[in-house]
Amino acid sequence: MEHHIKSWAEVAPRLVAVAAGRAHADLVIRGGILVNVQSREILDGWQVAVADGRFAYVGLDASHCIGPDTEIIEAEGRYLIPGLCDGHMHIESGMLTPAEFAAAVIPHGTTTMFTDPHEIANVLGLHGVRMMHDEALMQPVNIYTQMPSCAPSAPGLETTGFEISADDVAEAMSWPGIIGLGEMMNFPGVINGDPQMLAEMAATMNAGKTVGGHYASPDKGNAFAAYVAGGAADDHEGTAEADAIARVRLGMKSMMRLGSAWYDVESQITAITEKGLDPRNFILCTDDCHSGTLVNDGHMNRVVRHAIDCGCDPLIALQMATINTATHFGLERELGSIAPGRRADVILTSDLKTLPIEHVIARGQTVAMDGKITVDCPHYDWPADARQTVNMGKALGDADFAIHAPEGANSVKVKVIGVVENQAPTEALTAELPVVDGLVEGEGDTYQIALVERHQGTGKVVNGFVSGFGYTGKMAMASTVAHDSHHMIVVGTDRQNMAAAANRLGEVGGGVTVWKDGKELALVELPIAGLMSDSPAVDVAAKADEMVAAMEACGCTLNNAYMQHSLLALVVIPSLRISDLGLVDVEKFELTELFEDDL
């Protein structure tokens, strides 16, 4: 079922014959203006001829390539630009399978994606990565897979469904769609010479593939130098101009991201626009778009537009989303430019600044017109074990969410996870809470959070407190999207609603649900690994909108509140988190107690 494209070597005889005029092209595009990202030129009147899904001729006149069966597209004065590439992203974060993600982004002009299926690796291990990889290869556009490097991302502080080993990485390097190693998040491990992390990077480098970086620390001293020496070739964690400059000075590619939650282009692009650094070492990416962003705002076209709005030359912005990305992954002879032999991925647009995506061609085939997809994106047959991943071990009751106070206490001082609007880090707060009938009760803007183990069916529930969402009344919200280990996170003001929400996700195989006064207000079903839906993006986005409205109906006014909910178990980002092993003090990288000692 794989959408196969023959190699340049295989089709070179035909490409030569078409370019020489001895054979006829499958497709000719004429009457347009070619944007050349290799030379950074705009070439008026240049034409292209395509054969076997690749560019055969690129030049002033392709009339010698036209035969009776050649398809001709009249560009009518529009620009021809290469198909757009996303340098770093996680398909699962769109809550969609690779097929439905592709169907959502193709009309926006994305024809190549470099994806790290880190989320499914935590739930289904190497088997899950292989299924993502296989569905990716079935698509009519280019989806390359990076082998996830860190599952668990914090060994000893959380338990994943599966662990990724150096042997797994070495095995995956032989798969046809694997392009490198996914973001190396365990930067302390690399810096301290952790044998497994170094072995994973060695397996990748020995296979001639690219090691993805993720250095989430402000320290640009010896620690950063040591991390780069380990082999990480790119980094998308920069947030300031100095971050971008530090990375490119040491030979890394600086990936600047604009996703649904990250806005890191504007603060870093001044390295190019003001400091004048060589832009070929910069790459644009999304690092995650939710289905709603894809449906309403776009994908890589949105990122390029934003870079241009930040003062970047449109041709440089396009290079950062095409040729720079391809070159970084060793694919500059395969994609990222309109040049002989490359895959015929091309967009027709009437304006280089606002970038309307009017006609998308991938591998020489029209795949979208005027915002509508015109091809099929085939689905993988996801097996039962990928659809039955919410293993709670038992139905939960309100007693599972009871927090027992120390004997005889009328009130207790507890640690509270404090959510900060528009930020990934949380605050480590404390609160004095009342005890009723021996149980600690939430009060005001402090309510319960629970992590329900869902991989091994242990029936374990870890309880704590969280504040910052603004919830009121009797409500609960549960999600099986819970970075990074993806157990189930339940937040609620009422234990019965919490139990009902958790059991509901067990019933439907995962997703997100919001309950109020014993009734379900919204449900986003994510049956594949409890992370993804195989429904179209527009349907998933509509259900996600209902979820946001339901959170608001429960009193939540926080911007991007669902993202905050899904990150509450992310034990690699400060300050206080929850895992299946207990509360985690991320400042000290150790487990901590719920009750404060000074009672």
The domain boundary residue, chosen from 381, 416, 450? 381
pLDDT tens by residue, 196-235: 999 999 999 999 999 999 998 889 999 999 999 999 999 9
pLDDT at residue 1 in the model: 39
Q: Which residues of the chain have pLDDT under 50?
A: 1-2, 599
Domain match, 314 and 441 both: no
Query: For residue 347, which of 295, 289, 299, 389 has the smallest C-alpha distance?
Result: 299
In a domain, 353, yes or no: no
pLDDT at residue 2 in the model: 47
Boundaries of domain holding 261: 84-327+376-381
Domain match, 267 and 410 both: no
Q: How far apart, in whole angstroms, are the C-alpha atoms of residue 160 and residue 327?
A: 34
Domain match, 313 and 395 both: no
Q: How far apart, in whole angstroms, are the C-alpha atoms of residue 287 and residue 97?
A: 16
Domain total of the chain: 2
Domain match, 294 and 429 both: no
Q: How far apart, in whole angstroms, are the C-alpha atoms of residue 453 and residue 430?
A: 25
Query: For residue 529, which of 173, 91, 139 has the smallest C-alpha distance?
Result: 91
Domain match, 289 and 154 both: yes
Alpha carbon 506 to its chain centroid, in Å, reads 25
- Mutual angle of helices 98-105 and 118-137, in 10-degree steps: 70
Angle at 42 between CA 37 and CA 46, to 5 degrees: 100
Q: How far apart, in whole angstroms, are the C-alpha atoms of residue 491 and residue 501?
A: 10
Q: How far apart, in whole angstroms, are the C-alpha atoms of residue 254 and residue 267?
A: 13
Q: How far apart, in whole angstroms, are the C-alpha atoms of residue 6 and residue 8?
A: 7
Domain match, 316 and 407 both: no
In a domain, 576, yes or no: yes
Domain match, 138 and 211 both: yes
In a domain, 463, yes or no: yes
Q: How far apart, in whole angstroms, are the C-alpha atoms of residue 227 and residue 229?
A: 5
Residue 579, helix vs strand vs coil: strand
β-pairing, 41-44 with 439-440?
unpaired
The domain boundary residue, chosen from 381, 415, 447? 381
Q: Tokens 């997809």: give the residue.
A: 373
Give me the CATH number covering residue 295. 3.20.20.140
In a domain, 584, yes or no: yes
Q: Indicate the Cα dihedral angle 177, 294, 299, 509, nearest 10°.
A: -30
| Cis, bond preceding 398 (omega within 30 deg of 0) | no
| Cis, bond preceding 575 (omega within 30 deg of 0) | yes
